[in-house]
Structure 1
């Protein structure tokens, strides 16, 4: 229930949470891997729907965001698990403490700092990561409850630097399948599929990989209803206006929230202005300029070509054209392949089919079309 002074911006998804928990209860599987593009509501669902629902059913819920500890993933995982299991507050109590804090704007930061993913527990500098991992498994074995382990941005485990960690996790989880259920989520479909489908990967065949169910017009209608409860009647939005804005923002929940924030602040400027401002802020906040400047020239031209829907990147004619843009006679085939490999590794691109690629972040693609379009072919 929301009030004008305390609006409830969270669109609850109890049926979806119940679906995953029932699959575990029926022992159909003990793990799932879910993928969706960035900003599509995965983390919010884990923290505000699935986690609380599991806690009510008696699970001990542990949430880890690997992106937040990507610089030292092994220590981050072990520290997060130990800290969570040693914390006397349950998952629901920690969620309530976070929810009770007053929020000045409608921004809903799904990655709200909480015990599971933080580094509040500090370990002595001389404790090795190996000791931390051992301690982590000991803490897990001492826990009397069934554990639901929520691993967000799981594609981080597929990086070469985390090969040993992935192997150690797989080994530890294999012998605790009755005690630990795992939900992996990731924003890179390509990397997540490789992580569970390639025989040379530690997590090969360990969890079914499936798309995360995306938010739809019901989410839009909820957000419009909450907004209209705050707005002056003269500036109320219709469901149709909301749906049109949602579609223009590529059905991205995070951007739709930004649109509503812009509209709530300046409703007299209208919907179009709010959409434009939401996109502009996204481009700035995501640091697309910096991302672009860090790329090699050949990587940039590959991205420009894909954004322009250019096919046949490995064909001789295309490589000659791309080379001309770079001041070369021709780009070698292996140069194109190396550029694609780098862009896969950085999670800018994924492969849909042989010779067919798509951006992991639709808004990065739109930004390239706007700021760095491929010259006329």
Structure 2
């Protein structure tokens, strides 16, 4: 029995990012999008192997791997790579990536749970020797690889989740500035968190990377999934109907693959499969709990954000919302609502744009509130 490859490769995108950090004016980029939109899979299954093919030595670091001590995650990843540089590089580096892929596939909820369960109370403030070690290892990597080293740091916004991690930011920024020929790709699943790190002039990582919106997989991904079901499992579904569902779940590859697994395992109808996934999303995201905390104004603000409205405090929007909720609304009230939605992690903000953080939540509201 041959293993089925479900991965939809994005080789051209990986090569473009590699070219950007190696030949562009800035050797560091930060890829931004919300959780469960395929960034980690892309980093491990596309960017990492493409880097190896092009003669780079990649170091992959996931800061949610050690949420209470990101210093450990950084030093372990650098140590693991440095320890095999004198061996047969390609196969050994691939083994490192494969071990991370297994973590992703076997327990694909682990990294999501890490941030939910993370508590500042248990955060570890690194010692001076631990911070010094980061600089030593980055130096060793540069000495061995020069400008063909590429460091990939996943969930970079985690370093902004506790004041105890501020020294880690300083140590890492200093090391990367000292050896600035090293290419770096950051990835973050919270635009507001990444924005707080890279756009605040009082923070160590201020203006240190070019930020890029990570493009979501489109209809070609849906076609790939449907073709895989048909070729390997003799299961055929309406591609347009599955694409509609993919749009409904805000183009989340994570939930799309959950649907594929259910259809394959149960030989179920598409209706049964999508209903199951929607119920799973409601439970996983605590949609009912979130809904209970929302006022009518919060819901209307969410709908405006869904429609990509950015001028939330304009006079026309104030009038519009006053009519919608049948009550006088002020710009201050809208600001309070936006702050509340951010605190609930329902939305995030980057620049003047707002983003929905919970795939499928707006559709759930529309269905249950009949709006």
TM-based fold match above 0.5: yes
Q: Do the aligned residues in 2 keep the contact of 1:74 with 1:129 (CA within 8 Å)?
A: no
1:132 is matched with which residue? 130
Q: Does 1:359 align with 2:356?
A: yes
CA shift, 1:164, in A, is 2.8
SS of 1:63's equivalent in the other structure is strand
Q: Does 1:151 align with 2:149?
A: no
Counterpart among 40, 49, 54 of residue 51 in structure 2: 54
Q: 1:173 to 1:353 in 2, by over 3 A?
A: closer
SS of 1:33's equivalent in the other structure is strand
SS of 1:182's equivalent in the other structure is strand
CA shift, 1:110, in A, is 6.3
Q: 1:37 to 1:317 in 2, by over 3 A?
A: closer
Counterpart among 297, 306, 315 of residue 301 in structure 2: 306
Q: Do the aligned residues in 1 keep the contact of 2:263 with 2:270 (CA within 8 Å)?
A: yes
1:226 is matched with which residue? 228
- Structure 2 distance, partners of 1:250, 1:271, is 18
Q: Do the aligned residues in 2 keep the contact of 1:43 with 1:111 (CA within 8 Å)?
A: no
Counterpart among 23, 28, 33 of residue 26 in structure 1: 23
Q: 1:73 to 1:272 in 2, by over 3 A?
A: same
Counterpart among 190, 199, 202 of residue 200 in structure 1: 202
2:168 is matched with which residue? 165
Q: Do the aligned residues in 1 keep the contact of 2:38 with 2:253 (CA within 8 Å)?
A: yes
Q: Do the aligned residues in 2 keep the contact of 1:193 with 1:209 (CA within 8 Å)?
A: no
- 1:1-377 mapped onto 2 (5 Å cutoff): 5-86=2-83, 90-96=92-98, 129-143=127-141, 144-145=144-145, 146-159=148-161, 161=163, 162-178=165-181, 180-232=182-234, 235-267=235-267, 269-288=268-287, 303-309=298-304, 337=335, 340-341=338-339, 343-344=341-342, 347-351=345-349, 357-370=354-367, 373=369
Q: In angstroms, what is the RMSD of aligned CA positions?
A: 3.9
CA shift, 1:11, in A, is 0.9
SS of 1:69's equivalent in the other structure is coil
Q: Do the aligned residues in 2 keep the contact of 1:306 with 1:358 (CA within 8 Å)?
A: no
Q: Do the aligned residues in 2 keep the contact of 1:79 with 1:132 (CA within 8 Å)?
A: no
CA shift, 1:61, in A, is 1.7
| Gap regions ≥5 residues in structure 2 | 112-123, 306-311
Q: List per-residue Cα deviations over 1:61-94 (Å, max 9, x = no partner).
A: 2222223433333343334433443356732133
SS of 2:139's equivalent in the other structure is helix
Aligned residue pairs total 340
Q: Do the aligned residues in 2 keep the contact of 1:306 with 1:357 (CA within 8 Å)?
A: no
- Structure 1 distance, partners of 2:354, 2:26, is 31
CA shift, 1:53, in A, is 1.3
Q: 1:308 to 1:218 in 2, by over 3 A?
A: closer
TM-score by length of 2: 0.75
Q: 1:50 to 1:111 in 2, by over 3 A?
A: farther
CA shift, 1:156, in A, is 2.0
- Structure 2 distance, partners of 1:227, 1:264, is 7
- Structure 1 distance, partners of 2:304, 2:183, is 41
- Structure 2 distance, partners of 1:318, 1:98, is 47
- Structure 2 distance, partners of 1:142, 1:204, is 25
| Gap regions ≥5 residues in structure 1 | 114-125, 325-329
CA shift, 1:228, in A, is 0.8
Q: Do the aligned residues in 1 keep the contact of 2:246 with 2:252 (CA within 8 Å)?
A: yes
Q: List per-residue Cα deviations over 1:139-189 (Å, max 9, x = no partner).
A: 2222302321111122223335233322222122111111x2111111222
CA shift, 1:312, in A, is 5.5
- Structure 1 distance, partners of 2:303, 2:140, is 55
